[in-house]
Every structure is written in structure tokens, then in C-alpha cells.
Chain A
């Protein structure tokens, strides 16, 4: 009997404990650093989400722009610099010349730009979806959210469509060959679909969203939108559309449209090409520009790297465009808009005074005017200087067929230091993180792509 009583008491104890355990484990103190999604379905939280989209633009652009400049010939990886140790920069600078696919597709520096780009796109889309389902948002906030969601949604799509590459088009174009057709093959995916090429991305995704943003934009914002439209059309070779947009684009006196940075949300150039760590440096021609014409120092900002970081007798220069962690980074300027118009006038059959436009740009930096005429070489060089470290040189190299430039100082895989031909990748390779979980990249014709 005693055994039964004891077992009965223990069973009763077990039953009550069973019920209590479930409640006890759930009654914990809440986290302080993150919240669940549905708590943000609140008009008061829309401002918080808008800022998040803007913040991720800055985070993404400084990383992607850096890689684009490195993929092009404005930045180089030079192991003469003591701190240039991270070979992923070298791989990018040499356009992954000769390295295996494993290295191309797992490059951490690429991944560190690719993933934020895709996350930023989702944030912008989420903002637009949320303002659709949340009631009670005041009109000013609603307009701001509509602009930010559409504008940055468009910018993220522009970057996905214009900067990424699923296959190395340079491999088929051949080293040194004009590679304008490469841009046709550029493109990246959205939502695990097939890569959308630049032209389709522009027409079907970017331009409609820019139009939606323009509907609620201020005049200054509208001019930025038009400069971006003009740029895309120029890259795609749609010169008439580019001209139409550029005419309504940014004007002298307009503030540049920039990504903003702070010490905590730093400009990546500081850590890759600045005082934080000099892993990549400007191509030597930029120092030469300044040496040839000291006035150029106002727009081609380079300075000599500290001697103790250069493992060589020859001086090396570091970029000085973004000297600090909180240096803003230009994304679009009225000067670019002027140079688009100048190119369209001088080379693409559109109307306008190319020389006046070019000289107005030079004058804005206090640089003496050119005598003219404005030919292709002038446009290429002026754009090279004016758009220094704005992530746009890659497109000029494709458009003008100057990809055969040797990237001096970039170590090839065979270990030699200088004078190697560039590699096969013209854009930024879509990394393995995407390829492994999105079969539509390697096999666009697969079911469901």
C-alpha cells in the first residue's frame, strides 16, 4: 500500500510539473536587439523602415562600387604594398585570370557585396508591400516611403542587372577584343529566378520603379532619376532615350547624389584602399594625370602612400577621394550628366556643344578648359578622371573597347607581378551561394526558371 501511495504522489507531482514546464520555459524576458515582423505593421514604424532602406543602400554601394572599380582598371592590387595580403582582391583585380571556378565563385569580397545587395532589394520591396497593408500612415510619410521603396528598389535592380555576370563573357570575347557585347550578357537574379539581363532589367524593373518614384519626387530628386535613366540608356546604347533623360537630368548647382557614411557605417574604401588598410591602390595613370597637370588634383584625388607601407623603392599612391570612414561616396553628379550629354553630342549623333559641356565640368574643379575638339579619346579620359572611383569605368571599358589595357602591378596566378593580361570576367561573378541554391543561374532553361 505504501508503495502505491508513494508512486501515486510521484505521479501527481509529475503531472503538475508537466503542465508547468511548458509555461515556465516560455516566460522569459524578451530580447532587446530584435523584434518580430508583425510588430512593424504600425504607421509609427514606417520611418524606421525607410531609414533601413537608405542605410542598406550606403552599405551596399560602397562595397559594390569598390569591386566594380577593381574589376575595371581604376584600382589595382599591388603586392608591393605591405598590407595587400588578401588575395580575393588580387583575383578581382586580375579579373580572376587563370584561377579556377571555385575561387571565382567563392570570393569573399564579392560575396560581401552580393549578399547585401540582395538583402537591400528585399528591404525596399518589403517597404512597398508594408505601406500597402498598413492603414493610417500620414500622407507625407506615405509619399516618402513610396519614393524610397521605388527609388532604392530601382537602384538595387539596376545594380543587379548591370554589375553582375552569370558567365564570363570576356572568355568568349577574347582578351583585347572590343567587348561591348558583354553588356548584353550582364544580369543577375531576383527571388531565385534566372539572371535577368541588363536590358530587360532596365525596361521591366528599373524604369517602372523609377517612374513610380518620380511621381512623388521633389524636382531635385526627379533630376537624379533622369541622370540615372540617361546613364542606363547610354550603357545599353539607347542614345536617343539617354539624351532625352539627360536633358532633364542633374544640373550645375545640384548636390551630388551620394551614399552617406558614418564611422559606424563606414565607407569601405577606408578599409580596402585607405588609412584603415591599403590593399588596393589607384592605377598608376591617376598619379600621372596629376603630374601632367597639377590642376587635376582637384578631381583626381590621390596621395602618396606612407613609405613604411611600400615594400619597394618606387612610390605608390593611394586614393584620396574617400579619405575617411565617413566620407560620402558619389553615385550620380551633374558633372556625369554633362559628360553624358557631351558624349551624345560628340560621338552619338545627338545635339549639343560637347566642348562647352566638358569645359564646364572642368571649370567646376578649377581646371583649365580644353581647346577641343572633343573626340572619343577626350571623352574616355575626361570620364576616367571625372568619374574616378564611382564604379562606372567598367562600362566605359566595355563601351569603348578599351578592355585590353594591361593592369600593371596585378599579380597573375603564375606569380609574376606586372604586365599580365586581364582575365575573363568583365562584370562581377554571381557567387556560389546563389548558384548552389538557384539552379536557374547555371541552367536557365530548367523547369520553373
Chain B
């Protein structure tokens, strides 16, 4: 003890003496301006760091910096800014004032970006051993208004398809990542926001078809700084459970230190626009064309946001408030969202960093009934012709208009993180994150209107859902040098996840007056129930990294995962990973044209753990009846179930050349084994639910490539292109010899030897003709065969960014998908209900008669025209669903924006004293669509975002076309 006190006292004395000495030493200061080398624009918040001293200063709102009290000497000073290549300059500081103005060049290929490569690992893309895609969200959101994550990511990341389930505002989002990894789970990646694993559910409605509410709609894209995507097990192994479909890491905006004295930046933005039905050209196929076009309306888009950020060396903050009202193009569809965010970072000591992130959203979403539904707008105008006056087919328009279905969600996302660096090289990180959502969904059908189900009695349905989930992270990272040039870091940590979900609903009917609608006023109790689930996951992981002179990089690691389950044994599994990269350009002398060359290889495993109940032998639930409440078998599980394992090998090359081109090429191959397949038992066994078995196997492979081109760059003009292409394919290799598994419509299959979820049906070859040459039926294959996949084999995008006259910016994004198929169930039912124009015309041509079309002369049997018409007629017969499986390749002008930055102009006037920046932009989304699909739009999925059903169009709302105008002011 004595020794410790003496030691401490001595240290303090030495420190004081040192401080005293330095007070008398000669010092100087360094100041200057950091600008964009191309445009000359000042860079606000750029970092200036004197490497040897470990301190520096940020630039202020004018791009100026100033570092004081620098002992006289020569230092390496590093100038860096997000999106620009950093620059390290040797500067000699003399007593007094020293000046250096830095000009940074844009990092066109993004090699310097620091990306997340593992649960506790970050590295620059220059030396990363795995492919990580980054979307710099802030670059896009400053000009374009995004409804949700799907619009921000869609088309911008090779190998990741993100699409809404249709055009309904506020509905769910679905991801298609690479070739889909294993067969277990819902195929969706896990999503983190600032370290919080967030709820990514789709919340189902009152059970009449239609889209559910998507919980991702609560995330305001304007708050997002970056999105990193780990696309498969090779990169996501350390995230373990559920990481087989990738990991999406969303980082919200943080405050920037502005100048050495701190500063504040305030931005105000307003967006106004509208959405409209974009596919009028497709409605002429229906006899009810007029009704269809009349049902759509223009939907308003209105968004106001204000944010403030700033800070100093010790504390930084970012806060924002955003209000967005977006109406759909059908009545009764809107999203009205208010979101508030406050992020703080504090640096109380040099060895301590504290981060607090908090976001609150109040989101009101109104959803119309659609999809497989007779009280939906689309069902009424597309399926049947309705009255002569354009009225609805099945349910009165007034009745549909009177229905209200509104969800109100309050959502809080919060996290606290702490980083402590007790000794050099050692980082101790701890964080806790919370995602709490409280949703209430109200459906009101007023009395007096006839609606299927309640009749004219009126109905109220109230659903509440409280979801709380905690993410705990604890990890240590120790970086050290083994020998000269060989550095290493060791990571060890644990991650835990706890989720509690409570739901309940009440449904009543029999309301005497539409004026009073509290549920107590309903006469008949129809149904009510509640649900409760508490589940936990935990993982312990390690990673060992080696880096030799930035030439060879090696990483090995693994994670042991555990999850809650019914039964005595928690399922657990170990997922290993290893990756290696070599920077050829740092090893050998390459031709001068080659700026960067890296090869990488990575291997990793993840998978899906069984569902909570999967290990149960038999579960019983209570059922209500007129006999009382009795027990029924609710679920039959499999006590022998174990986790699925998905392995992935990833090979890649990254290549920059001619100082203008950046090419990334990644090939991957995935194998899944012991996939958990839910098998239907023969119902005669009495087991009605699907029973999980570890029998599945699937293989997939794919290629992803991105090409960045900085075609031209000068002070006033620049032209950049980003081109992405990806290919994927999959094949189910093992179902344990079981019969093929079909979806609910028996059109898609999991079957050994075919692609995942392929359409598998007997093909129709044409018409059968009798001896007189008359149409006599359908010539159909006896056995089913694979027709195609709902997952496109080829996808790609082309983005262009053109800057002219320094301040005018034009951005365009075109994306496409090829070799994909969609089941046009909408058309199938339109034919059944005699609303398909071609079908009716063919009936007339074949002499079969149609009361719905006039003026068509029947063809003569035996003629080529007749036979052709007979073949077409056969290919529309609805008894053979292969007829409605259509190739649905598409190409879309997804986004186009034009913006002008008036900041420079402002600064030449007095207004510049009050307003720091002014930017105007205008743009549009889904502006043009070209597709082989005959339906309203190929980008739909009737069963929402979470279902395994893919590529099925069943009266699903098509995506709308949107135009918007934005003005941004900075103070």
C-alpha cells in the first residue's frame, strides 16, 4: 500500500514538473483552411490531427481550423474528412503563428472508408478481408426524400435487393440477400441501429389479407449517416444467430466538433411532393379499366425537418425533429410520422468516451384493405367489372371508404455506450441498447354499410403490441505489435439479446350508431386474446487479427451461440470464421496505371437457431367453444431439432486503376446443411401444424461486381458513374428424400434439384383441337417442371452523378432485374370473374361467346388464326396455374434528382451573414418502368414482407410514381 501511495505521489510530482516545464517551453499555433481540392468548397467539420501529440482541432463552419500550444518542432499532421482521401503532411511548427491550407481530394472509390467488419471490428476498406457494402445515406438524403430503408438501399448495393411488398405507404419491406443462404427463418437480415438490434417485424392486420405494418417505417432515413451491410456468413459470422442472411448496421448522424472553440450548425428542410399511379398503360387489359384508373388519387408528400449539430473537443451532439406526411395513391392510406433524435458523444477524459443515442418516433399509418380481399379497393375494381357506372364489383365503394384501419406506434430506440482505454492498445467497450415499441391498431367498420363478416352491424377491432428488446454488448479489443511490422489485435466479447413481446386484441360487433364507436358500445363480443413471448439469445465470440505491413491481413475467429427454447437443453452451436487479404500494390511494383490491388478470401459460418417452440414434443392451447374452454393440440415439434448451419466462402479482388476507376469483384458460394424445414405431416396423423426437421440442404452461388468511374473532374464539372451487377442462383440439394413442399397456392416449391421457391407446375403447351379443328381443351404436361424463380438471377444498377457549374448536381439511378418470374394471381382471378379483356375477346374469336365484348367476328376453325387464338385461350385457362406464372424482368428509372447549391452565391451577399447554406432540389422516384410482366407492376408480393411466399401478385398495390421538391437552409 505504501509503495502504491509513493508511486502515485511521485507520478503526480513528475507530471507537475513536466507541466511546469512545458509552460515555459516555446510553442506555436497552426491554423488554416481545409477545402475540397476540386470545387474549392470549405469542408466543415474536417479533422486536423497532430499525430505525435494525439490532439488537433476540427474545422468550423467556414472550414477554418486552429490548433494552439504546439511545442516547436516538426510533426506529421493528418487532415481527414468523410468521403475524402486523408492527407498527412510534415509541418514544422515555429514559435507564433503557422499556417497551412489543406486541399483534400474526394475518395472516389471509397477505399479509405472505415467500415464495420465484425461485431467489434472496424477497419478501412483498404485492408478489409471481407466484402462490406456501405451506403453513405447522408449523401443521398440531402437531395432526395426517402420513405424508408428500402428506398435508400434499393438498387445501390450489389447482391442486396430491398423492396417494399408493394406500393402501400407504411407497409413492410423485404430483403433478398445474395442467394438466400439457408432455408430456415424468414430470409431477412438482422438490423442494428447504433448497436441496438431492432424489431424488424411486419405486424399483421385483422386477418383479411392485405399488407401488415412494417416496423422499419419508423426509422427516419434523414437521421441516418451510413448503412453498412455484411451480406453473408463470411462477414457476419461473429453476429451468429440469424446472421446467415446478413447484417445491416445503421449508424445515425453524430455531432461534429466545429472549430477549436466549438460551434453549432442548424439546418432546416422542407420537402413537398406528390405520388401518383404510374401504370395506367397496364389497366387496359381489364374490362374495368375505367374503374381502376378512377380509384387512384394523387397522394400528398410533405416533410419538415430541423436539425442541429455541433460540439467541441469534449462534447458533441446531434439532434433533429422531423415530421413527414405521406399519402398513398389509394384513399385510406397514409403515414404521418414525427421523429425526434438526440445523439451525444462525450470525451470527459482522453481514455474515456461516452456515447448516448436516443430516437423517438410517433408514427400513424393508415392501411387500406387490398390483396386477397373482397373489401379492398383493388379487389373490387380489378377482379370484377362492377356496375355500368364504374361502381365497385363486390362491396360498395362507400362501405370501403368508411372503413378505418389505423396503427399508431410509439417507438423509442436508445443506447448508451462506453469505451475505456486504460492502457495503450486496450479498448474496453460496453453498450446497452433498447428498442421499445408500443403499437395500437384500430379498425373501425361503422354500422350501416354492408361489409363481409360483420354485415351491416359494424365492427371494432383493437390490437395492441408491446415489444421490448435489449441488446447488451461487452467486448475487449487489445492491439499490439508482435515484431516490427507485424501488428495484431485480439477481440473477445459477448453479446446478449432479450426480447419480450406482448400482444392482445379485442373484436366486437353490433354498433347501434356510427357516432359512438368505443368497443364497449359493441353488442357482440367476437373474439379476444393475448400473447406473450420472452426469448433470449446469447453469444460469446473471439477474433484474432494480424496485419503485416498492410501487406498481408489475416483474421480468425468464432462465436458460440445459445438461444432460449422449450425443453431442458438450450440449443447452442459454434460458428467459425477466417479471412485473409493481400495488398499486392504494397508488395510488388505494379504499373503506374494501377493504384490499388487487393485480393481477399473469407470463410464463415452462421445459421438459424430453432424457433422457440421447435423442440417441444407437443404443446396444448385452450380453445373457446359453446361447450366451454377445452384443450386442443396447438403445436407438435421435434425434440431432436438442432440449429441449421450455413457456410460461405467468399473470394474477392479490388482494383483501382488510372486514378479514375475502382472495380470490386466478389464471388461467393454458400452451403446450408441441417436446415430446419417445417414439414407438413399427412393430416390423417392428426398433426396439423408444420413440424420442424433438420433435413434441408441448399447451395447457392453468386457474383457481385461494382465499378466506380470518376469520368471527369474539374473545379466546375464532374461526372461519376457507379455500376453494379450481381448474379445469384440456388438449388435445394437435400430434403431428406421428402416430397416437395408447396406454398399455400401450390405453385412454389422446395424440392431437391430445383431453385429455392421455384415455380414448379405442369406446363401448358397449347390447345387441344377436335377432329373439326375446334378448341377442345388444354394440352398440358403430365408432370410438373421448374418454370422459374421469384428471385431474379441477374440484378444491376447504374447511377450517374453529374456536377456542373460547381453547384448544379444531377443524380440518376436506374436499376433492373432479369430472369425472374411472378405469379399473376390477379389476372387469374380477373379471368375467373370475366374481367380480362383478352380472355373475353378470345372467347368471341373462338365462337365461345362473351357478353362483355362486341364487334368481334369469330374465326374459322382450321385456320392458322383460329389455332393461334386457341393456343392463347388455352394459355389463359385458370385451372392450370403455370399459365399465370410470367417472366417479369424489369428496368426502372428509380430516382432522378436535380439540385443547386446556392451557398457560394449567398456568401457574396449580406444574406450570407445569416444563412450558411441554401440548397434547392427537385426529383422523382419510379419515373419509368419497362417490364415483361403483364400485371400492374412486377415489384409486388401479396403476402407482405415476411412470408416465404415470394413473387406472387394477388391484387397487390403497385408502387407509385413520386415527385418532390426540397429546400434546405443552413444557419
- Interface residues, chain A, with chain B CB atoms under 8 Å away: 2-3, 6-7, 10-11, 13-14, 17-18, 21-22, 24-29, 31-37, 40, 45, 48-56, 58-59, 82-83, 85, 87, 98-100, 102-103, 106, 108, 114-116, 118-119, 121-123, 125-126, 160, 188-193, 260-265, 271, 275-277, 306, 308-309, 325-326, 328, 413-415, 431-434, 436-438
Contacts and interface: CB of A to CB of B under 8 A. Distances in A.
Contacts of A10: 476, 478, 490, 492
7 contacts: A25-B563, A28-B535, A34-B619, A48-B630, A102-B879, A436-B680, A438-B682
A340 B618 CA distance: 43
A100 B880 contact: yes
A102 B762 CA distance: 10
Given A25-B537, A54-B627, A87-B832, A102 B453 contact: no
A113 B921 CA distance: 58
B602 interface: no
A58 B532 contact: no
B171 interface: no
Contact of A18 (B395, B531, B540): B540
Interface stretch (B263-271, B683-691, B857-865, B895-903): B683-691
B714 interface: no
B624 A48 contact: no
A383 to B, nearest CB: 28
Given A118-B686, A260-B626, A261-B626, A37 B879 contact: no
Contact of B564 (A28, A277, A306): A28
Contacts of B780: 100
B566 A58 contact: no
A119 B633 contact: yes
Contacts of B621: 33-34
A85 B383 contact: yes
B688 to A, nearest CB: 5
B627 A55 contact: yes
B496 interface: yes
A113 to B, nearest CB: 11
Contacts of A414: 848
B913 interface: no
Given A14-B542, A35-B620, A123-B686, A56 B632 contact: yes
A13 B570 CA distance: 21
Given A17-B540, A413-B879, A437-B682, A123 B632 contact: yes
B746 A3 contact: no
A438 B454 CA distance: 39
The 5 A-B pairs at the shortest CB distance, nearest first, are namely A122-B686, A51-B630, A52-B630, A55-B625, A260-B626
Given A25-B570, A37-B619, A434 B682 contact: yes
Nearest to A190: B684
Nearest to A2: B423
A221 to B, nearest CB: 15
Given A31-B533, A414-B848, A193 B623 contact: no
Interface in B599-644: 613, 616-635
Contacts of A99: 879
B452 A83 contact: yes
B632 A119 contact: yes
Interface stretch (B222-230, B522-530, B785-793): B522-530
B739 interface: yes
B361 to A, nearest CB: 27
Given A14-B492, A103-B879, A22 B626 contact: no
Contacts of A189: 682, 684
A60 to B, nearest CB: 11
Interface string B828-869: 010011100000000100001000000000000000000000
Chain B interface size range: 35 or more
A188 B394 contact: no
Contacts of A438: 682, 684
B421 interface: no
Given A32-B530, A102-B881, A263-B525, A191 B685 contact: yes
Contact of A28 (B426, B453, B536, B762): B536
B721 interface: no
B623 A265 contact: yes
A308 B537 CA distance: 56
Nearest to B392: A82
A131 to B, nearest CB: 14
Contacts of B802: none
Nearest to A156: B686
Greatest chain B CB density within 10 A among A17, A125, A126, A432 is at A17
B786 to A, nearest CB: 16
A108 B426 CA distance: 62
A122 B627 CA distance: 19
Nearest to B536: A25
B525 A85 contact: no
A59 B782 CA distance: 37
A37 B631 contact: no
Find the residue from B478, B526, B682, B848 having the highest chain A CB count within 10 A.
B682
Nearest to A196: B684
Nearest to B829: A87
B914 interface: no
A25 B564 contact: yes
A260 B646 CA distance: 50
A3 B480 contact: yes
B526 A264 contact: yes
A55 B630 contact: yes
B450 interface: yes
B684 A434 contact: yes
Given A24-B538, A32-B530, 10 more contacts: A25-B537, A33-B622, A36-B619, A56-B630, A102-B761, A102-B879, A119-B633, A122-B633, A437-B680, A437-B682
Of listed A32, A52, A277, residue having the most chain B CB within 10 A: A52
B538 A114 contact: no
Contact of B632 (A52, A82, A108): A52
A43 to B, nearest CB: 14
A227 to B, nearest CB: 21
A118 B683 contact: yes
A21 B686 contact: no
A59 B684 contact: no
A26 B537 CA distance: 9
Given A24-B538, A100-B780, A106 B746 contact: yes
A193 B539 contact: no
B532 A83 contact: no
B534 interface: yes
Contacts of B62: none
Contact of A102 (B527, B624, B746): B746
Contact of A36 (B526, B617, B881): B617
B123 interface: no
Contacts of A262: 624-626
Nearest to A117: B683
Contact of B684 (A108, A118, A271): A118
A51 B628 contact: yes
B725 interface: no
B684 A34 contact: no
Contacts of B762: 102
A289 B270 CA distance: 71
B540 A191 contact: no
Nearest to A437: B682
Contact of A33 (B384, B454, B531, B564): B531
A7 B490 contact: yes
Given A28-B536, A276-B455, A432-B742, A115 B683 contact: yes
Contact of B478 (A3, A50, A114, A433): A3
B186 to A, nearest CB: 21
A36 B626 contact: no
B73 interface: no
B630 A50 contact: yes
A32 B622 CA distance: 10
Given A45-B631, A52-B631, A100-B780, A192 B682 contact: yes
B500 interface: yes
B562 interface: yes
